[in-house]
């Protein structure tokens, strides 16, 4: 055991387990994997991680000076997992109308029966490990319910902008942001003009009206029945914030609109593991050596949820073709979507396509990458800026629009005019403007430095271990 690990174990190490809980989606899970991995490197004992069975290997790989015990919550419920939603549901939740997309997400993911089953499975884990503290991703409401019911102190993990969890979706709900602050998922700026304020108000009212629909009434009745059966507290949107010991948010003040932040919200910046994640010798793709040989690279990566159509794939190939001679393009395109590509002999010579990368973070950290073309999800948005890369954003859904509008307003990104169409003229225009105007990179590098100064995983680990529940 090294000297740092000995200090961690001997001074302030918890005497009962820390239990991490997350849904299996990468955007929610990855920051908690990084944090648990940091504690394992410090030799903190009794680390447990509860998530769905397919992420077992990711959790077990965290073992270092101490191990991380995997606690299975069973197989993934397809109804709750965006990566397994049907194409019809995918189209509904990613449609251009932001309120209708927001409504579709609520209808699809508000499943009291499945939440109750996850609650029961997690209860069995808690009975087994008796945690002193739970660290919970902010979407896992079943885990917050369990922590409240059992009286277990908990920390909330937020991979989004802080206002995402501090702003009420209801016009009458309590909120930590001003009354006229943009509601999450609206993609509205701040401050707003008259029409935008009206749209913001209507977004909240329409969200409230959803729950007076007869069909939703049945779901609410089922939720009430199950909550009574399980002895759960009455749900309240801000309970997870009010009752948390601490809220760890993977952002910084400079990436959100200004408002008074609660003291328990700790802004630690992006949760990035030690780099490089992959050695050159282990890089079977040869991507890092390829990057070394280039002068300017556009990196395109649209996360694990995006499903491109054949016309959209063709449009992105055309984008690369138009950039040929000025920029190389690295595109992470999942293997299951590569059948949509034209024949190999019709691809431009400056385009490199990979179905898998040893580390997206290693790519973003590379000095030859000049811009990140992204869907604007919470992790990708913050990670790109962490490494000082300006962005071009094709918002996919919900929070992506909120990140996109802030990136635009803070001068670190541009957003496509017609995200669904992926018009090559629009994409090339936005990429070229961001690459040619050095102010985008200067601002991204400035905010990236602020993120790195916030401390990420090391600050988060220090804050966690200093909580009364662990001392």
DSSP assignment of 183-210: PTTS---SS--HHHHHHHHHHHHHHHHH
- Can you give the pLDDT at residue 21? 98
Can you give the pTM of this predicted structure? 0.94
- Can you give the pLDDT at residue 15? 64
- Can you give the pLDDT at residue 235? 81
Burial class (CB in 10 A: 0-12, 13-18, 19+), 293: exposed
Confidence grade of residue 8 (pLDDT, cut at 50, 70, 90)? very low
Confidence grade of residue 103 (pLDDT, cut at 50, 70, 90)? very high
Confidence grade of residue 48 (pLDDT, cut at 50, 70, 90)? very high
- Can you give the pLDDT at residue 279? 80
d(CA 77, CA 265): 31
Confidence grade of residue 10 (pLDDT, cut at 50, 70, 90)? very low
What percent of the chain is predicted at pLDDT more than 70? 97
Using H for helix, E for strand and C for coil, what is the string for 225-286? HHHHHHCCCCCCCCHHHHCCCEEEECCCHHHCCCCCCCCCEEECCCCCCCCCCCCCCCCCCC
- Can you give the pLDDT at residue 13? 54
Confidence grade of residue 6 (pLDDT, cut at 50, 70, 90)? very low
d(CA 411, CA 116): 43
Please determine whether the domains at 3-269+455-470 and 287-453 fall in the same fold group of CATH: yes
d(CA 242, CA 156): 11
The answer to whether residue 3 scores a pLDDT higher than 70 is: no
Q: What is the DSSP secondary-structure string of 293-312?
A: T-S-EEEEE-TTT----HHH
The answer to whether residues 320 and 351 touch, using CB atoms and an 8 Å cutoff, is yes
* Average pLDDT rounded to a whole number, residues 286-306: 96
The answer to whether residue 390 scores a pLDDT higher than 70 is: yes
- Can you give the pLDDT at residue 283? 77
Per-residue pLDDT reduced to its tens digit, 123-160: 999 999 999 999 999 999 999 999 999 999 999 999 99
The answer to whether residue 7 scores a pLDDT higher than 60 is: no
The answer to whether residue 263 scores a pLDDT higher than 90 is: yes
- Can you give the pLDDT at residue 1? 37
In the structure encoding, which two tokens stand for residue 76, read together?
A: 């993934």
Confidence grade of residue 2 (pLDDT, cut at 50, 70, 90)? very low
**14 vs 346 pLDDT, higher one:** 346
Both ends of the chain: CA-CA distance in Å?
22
Give domain 3-269+455-470's CATH architecture: 3-Layer(aba) Sandwich (3.40)
d(CA 386, CA 251): 10
Q: Which residues of 129-163 are buried (b: 16+ CB within 10 A; e: fewer)?
A: bebbbbbbbbbbbbbbbbbebeebbbbbbbbbbbb
Helix or strand or coil: residue 447? helix
- Can you give the pLDDT at residue 449? 98
> 287-453: what CATH class?
alpha beta
Maximum average pLDDT range among 207-211, 246-250, 417-421: 246-250
Confidence grade of residue 9 (pLDDT, cut at 50, 70, 90)? very low
Mean pLDDT of the chain: 94
**429 vs 398 pLDDT, higher one:** 429
- Can you give the pLDDT at residue 306? 95
Helix axes 214-230, 141-150, angle to 10 degrees: 30
- Count of beta carbons in the 10 Å neighbourhood of residue 189: 15
Confidence grade of residue 14 (pLDDT, cut at 50, 70, 90)? low
The answer to whether residue 167 scores a pLDDT higher than 60 is: yes
Domain ranges of the chain: 3-269+455-470, 287-453
């Amino acid at each position: 055991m090294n000297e740092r690990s000995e200090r961690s174990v001997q001074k302030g190490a918890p005497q009962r387990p820390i239990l991490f809980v997350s849904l299996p989606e990468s955007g929610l899970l990855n920051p908690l994997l990084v944090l648990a991995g940091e504690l394992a490197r410090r030799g903190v004992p009794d680390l447990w991680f509860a998530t769905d069975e397919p992420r077992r290997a990711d959790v077990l790989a965290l073992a270092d000076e101490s191990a991380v015990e995997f606690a299975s919550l069973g197989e993934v419920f397809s109804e709750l997992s965006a990566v397994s939603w049907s194409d019809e549901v995918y189209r509904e939740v990613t449609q251009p109308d932001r309120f209708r997309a927001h409504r579709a997400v609520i209808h699809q993911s508000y499943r009291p029966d499945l939440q109750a089953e996850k609650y029961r499975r997690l209860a069995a884990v808690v009975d087994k490990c008796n945690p002193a503290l739970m660290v919970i991703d902010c979407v896992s409401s079943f885990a917050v319910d369990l922590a409240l019911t059992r009286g277990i102190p908990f920390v909330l993990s937020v991979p989004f902008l802080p206002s995402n969890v501090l702003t009420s979706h209801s016009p009458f709900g309590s909120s930590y942001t001003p009354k006229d602050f943009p509601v999450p998922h609206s993609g509205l700026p701040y401050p707003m003009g008259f029409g935008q304020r009206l749209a913001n108000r209507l977004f909240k009212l329409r969200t409230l009206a959803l729950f007076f629909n007869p069909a939703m009434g049945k779901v609410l009745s089922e939720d009430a029945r199950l909550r009574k059966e399980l002895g759960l507290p009455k749900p309240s949107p801000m309970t997870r914030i009010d009752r948390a010991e601490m809220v760890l948010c993977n952002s910084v003040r400079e990436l959100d609109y200004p408002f008074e932040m609660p003291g328990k919200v700790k802004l630690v910046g992006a949760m990035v593991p030690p780099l490089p994640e992959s050695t050159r010798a282990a890089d079977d793709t040869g991507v890092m050596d390829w990057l070394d040989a280039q002068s300017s690279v556009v990196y395109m990566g649209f996360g694990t949820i995006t499903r491109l159509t054949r016309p959209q794939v063709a449009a992105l190939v055309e984008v690369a073709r138009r950039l040929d001679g000025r920029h190389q393009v690295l595109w992470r395109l999942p293997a299951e979507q590569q059948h949509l590509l034209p024949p190999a002999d019709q691809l431009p010579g400056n385009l490199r396509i990979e179905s898998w990368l040893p580390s997206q973070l290693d790519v973003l950290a590379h000095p030859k990458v000049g811009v990140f073309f992204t869907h604007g999800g919470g992790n990708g948005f913050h990670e790109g800026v962490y490494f000082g890369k300006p962005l071009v954003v094709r918002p996919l859904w919900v929070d992506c629009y909120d990140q996109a509008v802030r990136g635009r307003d803070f001068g670190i990104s541009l957003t496509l005019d017609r995200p669904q169409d992926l018009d090559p003229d629009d994409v090339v225009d936005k990429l070229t403007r961001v690459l040619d105007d050095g102010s985008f990179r200067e601002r991204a590098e400035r905010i990236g430095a602020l993120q790195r100064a916030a401390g990420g995983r090391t600050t988060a680990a220090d804050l966690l271990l200093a909580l009364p529940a662990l001392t």
